[in-house]
Copies of this chain bind each other. A is one copy, B any other.
Amino acid sequence: MNPLLAVFRRDLLQAWRRRADWLTTFFFFVIVVSLFPLGVGPEPAMLRTIAPGILWVAALLAAMLSLPRVFESDFADGALEQLLLSPEPLPLLVLSKTTAHWLLSGVPLALMAPVLGLQFGLDVEAVRVLFWSLLLGTPCLSLIGVVGAALTLGVRGGGVLIALLVLPLYIPVLIFGAGAVETVATGTGAAGHLSLLGACLCIALPLAPWGASAALRVALE
């Protein structure tokens, strides 16, 4: 089997063995979203206005929470050394890990978000845009995230340091994503915001794997 495929397959297989793991990324998302009305109060009109923001922030947090797992176990048990010594180019291997991460953390969020959106009283059009914005936005989150994950590898205080590095970079994605959903209420059309999300993806796709693999080499030195 091709090494890229092998990495991808192994990550999925491991996730399958640890089903609880990615199922709970997903539950985390659901729970965080459900917490807000509790804290903020139950007026439907207000909840409807803040819904896109809350859903997107929760997606950001959920994606971020699952980041440390991307390299951590490989680092701790020495498998990362072996990946670095693979004849295959490292950025491609990283890309294949990133894809697995997205499939396991991003896609479920995009699928669940519409249901939660309905609970907050969003209308069908807004929910549709929410879905597409998440489907475009979550790969960016994964790509930016793995760079952060690689940079904080084996660093004292990694787990939370990652939040500090990654969240600021997530901000544009958040603004375009939540913005896209909000346009539906204001009636200005979501296409602009969605294409900006697409642009983020196009920038992150070639850069992130390269950055992450440079960071990995440094981490193992």
Contact = CB atoms under 8 A, between A and B. Distances in A.
A39 interface: yes
A65 B21 contact: no
B20 A38 contact: no
Given A50-B46, A65-B159, A57 B32 contact: yes
Contacts of A68: 159
Nearest to A37: B53
A170 to B, nearest CB: 8
A37 to B, nearest CB: 8
Interface residues of A, number: 49
Contact of A40 (B53, B60, B156): B53
Interface string A4-43: 0000000000000111111111011001100110111100
21 contacts: A17-B156, A19-B156, A19-B157, A21-B156, A21-B157, A21-B160, A24-B163, A31-B163, A31-B167, A32-B61, A32-B167, A35-B60, A35-B174, A38-B174, A38-B178, A40-B53, A41-B49, A65-B65, A65-B160, A66-B160, A68-B159
Interface of A: 17-25, 27-28, 31-32, 35-36, 38-41, 46, 49-50, 52-54, 56-57, 60-61, 65-66, 68-69, 76, 155-157, 159-161, 163-164, 167-168, 171, 174-175, 178, 182
Query: What are the 8 A-B residue pairs with the smallest beta carbon separation, nearest first?
Result: A39-B53, A21-B157, A20-B157, A40-B53, A24-B160, A39-B178, A18-B156, A28-B163
